[in-house]
Structure 1
Amino acid sequence: MTKILYSIIAIFSFQIVFGQDSLVKIDMLDSNWIIPENAIFENFDNKKTLLLKGKRATVRNLQFTNGTIEVDIYANFARSFAGITFRKQNDDMEEVYMRMHKSAQVDAIQYTPIFNNESNWQLYREYQAQVTFKNKGWNTLRIEVNNKSVEVFVNNQKTMTIDNLRTGHHTGEIGLFALFSNRFSNFRVTPKDVVDKTGSDPDTLSDPSIIKKWEITKANPYKAEELDFEKFSNEKFMTVETEISGLLPISKYVKKTSSGNFEQNTDDFIVASTTIHTNEEETKLFSFDYSDKIIVYLNGKIYFEGNNSFRAKGMQYTGHMGINTNKLYLPLKKGINRIHCVVIDKANGWGLMAKLESYVLQR
């Protein structure tokens, strides 16, 4: 009965005070938050705090569209991640987080969309920045959300601009994220009306050689010894579109059989296919990249196998992607040709990007 009463009070409070351009502080109290079992509310450093040990916490009964979200995060140089989630709808959301153990490094702060409960930071290398954090006391993370764009501040210093939020959500829940253990306090929100920004539409800028549509299968557990071309090539395929860069964020369209546990996930795979029609025998240049692993087939024959996983080539290897990283010269037969890409992933971003260009052999 007490919990129900707290919830009613919380809802009523937000309805009364949560107006445009009005700052609302959301205290670290059980009545205001939905938290995982191992999280703890406690007084620390003369503040009401939430100690979040992995997973996410969500503000109760609150939808957020545009405005400012701020939180104080206690200095912590053990390996950990601490940040803000927003526009959350089910298992999709936007996420900005600090990596205080990476202070002063180029990837100290990152943005990722979460699709089907999976992080995708490997796919968006452009959305990370160098930040030097305080090594004692509290660091303040602030995000200013304006329609599709976000400006990110740490201790009142602007660190990064996100110019194209990826989930496509216009509104949703807000909350906090921690991987391993971090302490939060002084969470506040200021809703604002959107301010239109002028500028070029990125959707009008495109390389015509980029493959913009793929046929993909559902996710299946990956076992190398059980992979069978005849079997997977006859699966049901659905048509999906890439981002303007050619990036296909696979988790946006496909739910993994093992998800949400980072490197504790098991490997899953999908098959992405495209068809090429030619009037004569010719060679095409296939440029591509992927995450985490790939097997490329042309007309049923394997032409490439690779591993681009996080840390696959050393402890500092990130596995970021670039469309010109890998190149194959594909001998096409007259008529219909099929490329099948088996894309295998465990965690951190499941992606594929490719382009196909004419190639003239120089003699």
Structure 2
Amino acid sequence: MVKFSSSFILSLCFLVSFSQSSKTKIEMIASNWNTTKEATFEKFDNRETLVLKKGRITVKNQKFTNGTIEVDVYANTIRSFAGITFRKKDNTMEEVYMRLHKTNQADAIQYTPIFNNESNWQLYREHQANVLFKNKGWNTLRIEVNNDQAKVFVNNEEVMSISNLRTDNISGEIGLFALFTNRFSNFRITPKESSEVPEKTEETPTDLNIIKKWKITEAKLFDRKNLNFKNFLKEEYITVTTEKSGLLPISKYIKKASSGNFEQNTEDYTIAFTNIYSEKEETKLFSFDYSDTILVYLNGKIIFEGKNGFRTKGIQYMGHLDINTNTLYMPLKKGNNTIHCVVIDKANGWGLMAKMQ
């Protein structure tokens, strides 16, 4: 039997601990990255840098679970977006990015889950924050991740706390995101073991009137002339569950025919169905919101049509969701009543939320 001294064991433990928490710098050279045609590596400001025109790029052979991710982004005052992607598996991941042209505005920085290659920022207004960016030199974005929580820092100042990372991924690839060209440098990773976090509290109190389960169809290309309520009854549906706020992030459950190209996507739709039982004829209040467009059917008849997409009501209109935005007084018959919502989306967040009271 081989015996080891206590000092050797202590040294080994120290080395393991050090390796789990030591900072690793990923140089901005093509051999370190799963590069794309949108990426260029070049010297700038006495640094190795990556210029990313659009899209995402990941680090080769690197998985991330918990710890710290940091990157420097060169100041940019024109409309552009730059951020960090982490725990990427296939086309689902977590993402935090800066809207560099929106310095000192309420939505200067954003956290969003990416589900099936679709950003969902419209659905998560609570994960935006005001940040004052430098307009010259480098801005440092840092994310500290611990299990399903994260803290976000810009230039060493904490700007956002995320209590519930929305994807189910616990580990995955890491990388960078840009839209309309940004320059990155000094990408660093510090892996860490997870630590205990306080018991999670609900971001929004659960309302007993919220519709928590829906049945939805697969995504299809939208063409209004092909919609026929009789066909709704022949569709195959899967049952899905909302978040505690009542939000149903549709892209989490079904993949769109066209995704990842923002406003260049085609319009897709799904049919969301629920059944409401009433013991008598009565009128109930149906409160709801959606993105981007909706047709609401009660017992087979259209009772509402609306649009709530990004910029549909003006250039500054965001299309964020609030369950109390739209209200309908629904005349329910005795027995079962069916609600079918045709939810149509192009980009930025495919969502539905509703309650009946």
Instruction: Report the TM range for the smaller structure's normalisation.
Output: over 0.9
Q: Secondary structure at the match of 1:126?
A: helix
Instruction: Name the CA shift for 1:181/1:204 in 2 (closer, same or farther; >3 Å).
Output: closer
Provide the alpha-carbon RMSD of the alignment: 1.5
Point out the more displaced range, 289-298 or 200-209: 200-209
Q: Aligned-pair distance for 1:203?
A: 8.9
1:157 match: 157
Q: In percent, how many aligned pairs have the same letter?
A: 66
Q: Does 1:264 align with 2:264?
A: yes
Q: Is the 8 A contact 1:35 1:56 kept in 2?
A: no
Question: Which amino acid is 1:158 matched to?
Answer: E
> Moved runs in structure 1, 4+ residues, more than 2 A?
16-19, 199-205
Q: Aligned-pair distance for 1:200?
A: 4.6
Q: Is the 8 A contact 2:216 2:270 kept in 1?
A: yes
Supply the distance in 1 between the matched residues of 2:325 and 2:175 (Cα, whole angstroms): 37
Q: Is the 8 A contact 1:112 1:121 kept in 2?
A: yes
Map 1:317-332 onto structure 2 (within 5 A). 317-332=317-332
Q: Aligned-pair distance for 1:204?
A: 10
Map 1:335-354 onto structure 2 (within 5 A). 335-354=335-354
Q: Aligned-pair distance for 1:63?
A: 0.8
2:294 match: 294
Map 1:62-81 onto structure 2 (within 5 A). 62-81=62-81
Map 1:194-233 onto structure 2 (within 5 A). 194-202=194-202, 205-233=205-233
- Count of aligned positions: 342
Question: Which amino acid is 1:94 matched to?
Answer: E
Q: Is the 8 A contact 1:17 1:24 kept in 2?
A: no
Supply the distance in 2 between the matched residues of 1:30 and 1:318 (Cα, whole angstroms): 37
Structure 1 alignment gaps of length 5 or more? 1-15, 358-363
Structure 2 alignment gaps of length 5 or more? 1-15
Q: Is the 8 A contact 2:38 2:55 kept in 1?
A: no
Supply the distance in 2 between the matched residues of 1:296 and 1:278 (Cα, whole angstroms): 19
Q: Is the 8 A contact 1:85 1:93 kept in 2?
A: yes
Q: Aligned-pair distance for 1:233?
A: 3.0
Q: Secondary structure at the match of 2:177?
A: strand
1:144 match: 144
Q: Aligned-pair distance for 1:220?
A: 0.7
Instruction: Name the CA shift for 1:220/1:59 in 2 (closer, same or farther; >3 Å).
Output: same
2:35 match: 35
Q: Aligned-pair distance for 1:196?
A: 1.1
2:192 match: 192
Q: Secondary structure at the match of 1:122?
A: helix
Question: Which amino acid is 2:299 matched to?
Answer: N
Deviation sequence 1:245-293 (CA, Å, 0-9, x none): 0000000001001111000001110000000112211111110000001
Instruction: Name the CA shift for 1:217/1:171 in 2 (closer, same or farther; >3 Å).
Output: same
1:20 match: 20
Q: Is the 8 A contact 2:205 2:245 kept in 1?
A: no
Supply the distance in 1 between the matched residues of 2:289 and 2:237 (Cα, whole angstroms): 21
Q: Is the 8 A contact 2:299 2:338 kept in 1?
A: yes
Instruction: Name the CA shift for 1:18/1:56 in 2 (closer, same or farther; >3 Å).
Output: farther
Q: Is the 8 A contact 1:18 1:24 kept in 2?
A: no
TM-score by length of 1: 0.92
Instruction: Name the CA shift for 1:17/1:194 in 2 (closer, same or farther; >3 Å).
Output: closer
Supply the distance in 2 between the matched residues of 1:18 and 1:106 (Cα, whole angstroms): 39
1:248 match: 248
Supply the distance in 1 between the matched residues of 2:205 and 2:120 (Cα, whole angstroms): 23
Question: Which amino acid is 2:121 matched to?
Answer: W
Supply the distance in 2 between the matched residues of 1:233 and 1:162 (Cα, whole angstroms): 40
Point out the more displaced range, 197-206 or 97-106: 197-206
Question: Which amino acid is 1:38 matched to?
Answer: E
Q: Secondary structure at the match of 1:185?
A: strand
Q: Does 1:179 align with 2:166?
A: no
Map 1:108-123 onto structure 2 (within 5 A). 108-123=108-123
Q: Is the 8 A contact 1:74 1:184 kept in 2?
A: yes
Deviation sequence 1:78-101 (CA, Å, 0-9, x none): 111000000000000000000110
Supply the distance in 2 between the matched residues of 1:248 and 1:230 (Cα, whole angstroms): 25
Point out the more displaced range, 222-231 or 186-195: 222-231
Q: Aligned-pair distance for 1:201?
A: 3.8
Q: Secondary structure at the match of 1:207?
A: coil
Q: Secondary structure at the match of 1:186?
A: strand
Q: Is the 8 A contact 2:88 2:172 kept in 1?
A: yes
